[in-house]
Structures are given as C-alpha cells and as structure tokens.
C-alpha cells in the first residue's frame, strides 16, 4: 500500500474523539469477533492512531507519553479493546527508530502497518549467514489479528548453538520483525474481558530473518532517531498507554452511571438516583478520585518528558516515578470502575447495558503486568534508598 503521509503531530486527542462514535456503535461486533472488525480498523488507520510513536521521518507522530495516555483514555471510554490495541501497537512501533531508514520505511511505511508481539524472550535466534534462524512461541500478542508484522523476542545463539553474552555477562537478546504470514497463529483468545484485542499466541519455525530486520530494543543507545521519545524504554510507553486505558474504562463507567441516574429509581427507594443525596455523595467522591488519578498520571509523564526533552538523561528516579504512577492508576482506576458498577445496581448485570462489559475490561486490564501490586515493593524499596529488586518494567 502507499506510504502514509502523516500530518504535524497536533490535535491527536481530537483525532481520538473522531472515532469514538464508530467504536461505540461497534462494541458488540468487536466483542463477538474477538478482534477489531475491518471497517472499524480502517477508521482507526485513517485517523493515524497506529502511528502515534513512529518516527516523523516515516509519517509517524512521535507523541509525548502524556498525549499518548490521553489518546488511549479517550478511545478506551468508547471501547477498551481498541484502546489497548492502539497502546500496544504504539509501544511496538518504537522499534522503527532502531532500524536503518530504508528498512524502517519498508516495514512501517505502508499506512496500515501494525506491529504486534507477545510477551517475554521466548524464542531463539541462531546466527546464520546474513541473519538469524528464529524459533519459538509467544503469547498475549494484542492486536495480532490485524497486524502486518509480528515481533519475536529471542535469545541470541552462536552458529554452534551456545548463547551469546552481552558485555556485562547477561544473555544477549534481539527482537526479530517478520511478516504475519510467516507465523503460525493459534486462536486462544477466549477470555473474560478485553475480548476484542485478539491477543493470540503464535510460533515461528526455522524462519530466516535478515539482520537488518532485527533490533536490540533494550539498548537505547542503538536508536537511530534522535528525538526525545526514543530516550524512553518501551515499558514506559506501555505504562503511559495502559494507564490511559484504565482511566478511559473508569471514565466510561462514571459517564454511564450519570446517564443511568437521569432515569433510575432504585427498588424500594423514595426518590430517584437523580434526587438521592446518598448517590450525590458517592458519585462526587468517585469523580474526585478519578480526576486526581488523571492529574497524577499526566503530570508525572509531562514532568519527565520536559526534563528529557531539554537534554537531561532519563534517571532511575524518573523511571520509578513512572512505574509507581502507572501501577497506582491501574489499581485505583479498576477500583473506581468496580464501585461505579455497584452503584448501578441491578441494571449493571445485563449484557445490553455497558456496565458489565466495562467491569470485565477493567478487571482484565488490571491483571496485566503493568498493574502488578509487586511493583509497589520495587518502588517502595527505591524510596528508602534500597537497590531495585528487579530490572523489569522500570
């Protein structure tokens, strides 16, 4: 397909709002198909929402992370699965900055280009002339059904089969980028929530990948694009995006609850929800908690971005601040969604109403690694001046 001609990176929240009506009308189809239908996907592609973290040199937006969070929040209030796929695709697309310019345009130039990948270094890439022979199986590849490319995180093996090591003695790994049709995809996505993400498993069997189509995504110094975005690890992009998704789910729950209050009188109550002082109290408290979460989320990422954009190196303090923020937002945002669901009473249990879908999506999103409660242990240690207990997700 033709290369995507991106516009200047302004108005991205407005672009997100431009697709919300399409998404709201398609939620049942998205759930039933367990993926984003082709017509809905076309609307997201036309809005440029899968090019948020691509380099501007190939038609991307190179968004700051706070704006990315706002985009996923707006979309998630309409449909959480679509927002999750946009956030996942954004983090994956940062790979383009680690490729040479010609290869980046080859893989990401088409306007419908989307990269998806599964979790963890779950494969091997054995060195062969001109590239690597890749084998492995990866799971939780959100957006893999509409992806044009799949990524394979692999341990690097020498031609004889022994692991390659980094300078610090750790096993070396690389991510191989392949066409989706080179993989064997397994339809395993039968889940409680976020059904429309199509987060299937896939495997590669002796697939040759040229060296130019592989990256070392953990070594930020290998980035070939100089913008501030590529000073950040992909884990921070995911933290911003998925925090935004939870804010959108909980925002949608509160908006649906307010709409319900205009018409509902609880069984046995002497007044409608609209006239209930108890409901007023509970709703206002939920709203205040939600606004505080959004402000905390955005201010953290804006402050960090401002420092890095000015030329300062990304510090461990900043990484820990981002980790603590995202974990808190995901945890508390889920709790707001749960409490909003309970406020809706019996109306919440019916599939025809939006409450039960939002609850399932919130609970599913809270189970992802970005929301692990153990991250508070890591950040708590840091606050006390102790060394991190993990190198993951910070």
Chain segment 84-102, per-residue pLDDT in tens: 999 999 999 999 999 999 9
Query: d(Cα 49, Cα 41) in Å, to the nearest integer?
Result: 10
Per CATH, the number for 116-216 is 2.40.110.10
CATH class of the domain whose range is 232-383: mainly alpha
For the chain, domain boundaries: 12-108, 116-216, 232-383
Q: What one-character DSSP code corresponds to residue 387?
A: P
- Model confidence, pTM: 0.93
Domains 116-216 and 232-383 share a fold: no
Question: 179-225, pLDDT tens digit by residue?
Answer: 999 999 999 999 999 999 999 999 999 999 999 999 998 889 999 99
- SS3 of 126, please? strand
In the 8-state DSSP scheme, what is residue 105? H
- CA distances 272 to 264, 269, 339, 347, 354, Å, are 6, 7, 19, 14, 20
CATH H-level superfamily of 12-108: Acyl-CoA dehydrogenase/oxidase, N-terminal domain (1.10.540.10)
pLDDT at 11 over 70: yes
Residues 131-140 have pLDDT tens digits of: 999 999 999 9
């Amino acid at each position: 397909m033709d290369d995507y001609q991106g516009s200047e990176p302004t108005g991205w929240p407005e672009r997100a709002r431009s697709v919300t009506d399409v998404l709201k009308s398609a939620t049942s189809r998205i759930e039933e198909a367990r993926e984003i239908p082709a017509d809905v996907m076309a609307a997201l592609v036309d809005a440029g929402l899968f090019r948020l973290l691509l380099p501007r040199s190939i038609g991307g937006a190179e968004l700051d992370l706070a704006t990315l969070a706002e985009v996923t929040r707006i979309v998630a209030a309409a449909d959480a699965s679509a927002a999750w796929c946009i956030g996942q695709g954004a983090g994956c697309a940062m790979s383009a900055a680690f490729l040479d310019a010609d290869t980046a345009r080859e893989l990401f130039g088409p306007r419908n280009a989307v990269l998806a990948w599964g979790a963890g270094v779950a494969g091997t890439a054995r060195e062969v002339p001109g590239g690597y022979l890749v084998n492995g199986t990866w799971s939780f590849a959100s957006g893999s059904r509409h992806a044009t490319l799949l990524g394979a995180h692999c341990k690097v093996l020498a031609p004889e089969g022994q692991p390659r090591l980094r300078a610090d003695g750790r096993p070396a790994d690389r991510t191989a980028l392949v066409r989706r049709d080179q993989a064997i995809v397994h339809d395993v996505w039968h889940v409680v929530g976020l059904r429309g993400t199509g987060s299937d498993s896939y495997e590669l069997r002796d697939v040759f990948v040229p060296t130019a189509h592989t990256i070392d995504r953990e070594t930020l110094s290998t980035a070939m694009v100089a913008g501030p975005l590529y000073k950040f690890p992909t884990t921070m992009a995911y933290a911003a995006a998925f925090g935004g998704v939870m804010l959108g789910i909980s925002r949608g729950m509160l908006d649906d609850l307010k709409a319900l209050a205009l018409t509902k009188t609880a069984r046995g109550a002497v007044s409608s929800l609209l006239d209930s002082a108890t409901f007023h109290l509970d709703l206002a408290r939920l709203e205040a908690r939600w606004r505080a979460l959004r402000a905390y989320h955005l201010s953290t990422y804006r402050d960090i971005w401002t420092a890095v954009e000015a030329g300062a190196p990304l510090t461990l303090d900043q990484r820990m601040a981002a980790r603590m923020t995202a974990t808190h937002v995901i945890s508390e945002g889920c709790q707001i969604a749960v409490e909003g669901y309970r406020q809706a009473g019996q109306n919440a249990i019916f599939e025809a109403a939006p409450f039960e879908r939002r609850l399932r999506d919130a609970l599913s999103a809270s189970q992802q690694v970005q929301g692990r409660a153990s991250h508070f242990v890591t950040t708590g240690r840091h606050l006390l001046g102790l060394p991190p207990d993990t190198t993951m997700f910070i």
